[in-house]
Amino acid sequence: MIRWKVGWAALVGCALGAAVVTARLPARSFSLSCSKTQELHAPDLAHADATCASSTLYAFGLWPPIQIFLVLAVPAIVAGVVARRWVSALAAVAYVVSIGCGVIHWDSWLIVLLPAGALLAVLALVLTLLQPTRA
C-alpha cells in the first residue's frame, strides 16, 4: 500500500516541477504578441514593465504556476489518498483531459498541460495497471 502512495506522491512532485518550470519560462514562450511584434501585449499582465524576456512569474503573476500545479497535482493526491483502482483510473483520465486543455489553449501558458499531462497520464496509467485491487 505504501509504495503506491509513494508513486502517487512522485506524480505530485512532477506536478510541482511543471509549475516551477512554468514560472521560470520567459513570457515569450506563451505570448503570440512576442513572436509577432517582439513586445508583450496581454490584458492579464501582473507588471506593466514586463517584457518578452521576463519570466512567466514576473509577467503574469503567481496564478499560472498555481493553476498548473493544482490541475496536475489534485488527481494524484486524490488517487493516493483513496488508494482504489477505479479512482486511480479516473486520475489517469483527468490527465488525458488536461492534455486536451493544453491543446485547446495552445496560445497561452496552459500549453504546459500538454507535455506535463502526457507524462503524468502515462505514469498514472502504469500505476493504475500495477496497483492491486482492494476489497
- Whether 5 maps to a domain, the answer reads yes
pLDDT per residue, tens digit, the chain (135 aa), is 677 789 999 999 999 999 999 999 998 888 777 777 888 876 767 777 888 888 889 988 899 899 999 999 999 999 999 989 999 999 999 999 999 999 998 888 888 899 999 999 999 999 999 888 764
Domain count, the chain: 1
Please tell me the pTM assigned to this model. 0.86
- Whether 99 maps to a domain, the answer reads yes
- Written as one string, the DSSP assignment of 57-112 is HHHH-SHHHHHHHHHHHHHHHHHHHH--HHHHHHHHHHHHHHHHHHHHTTTSGGGG
- Whether 135 maps to a domain, the answer reads no
Cβ-contact 55, 24 below 8 angstroms: yes
- Whether 125 maps to a domain, the answer reads yes
Q: Convert 86-109 to b/e letters by CB count within 10 Å (16 or more is b).
A: ebbbbbbebbeebbeebeeeeebb
Cβ-contact 33, 51 below 8 angstroms: no
- Whether 37 maps to a domain, the answer reads yes
Q: Check residue 135 and give its pLDDT.
A: 40
Q: Check residue 86 and give its pLDDT.
A: 92
- Domain with 109, as residue range(s), is 1-130
- Whether 34 maps to a domain, the answer reads yes
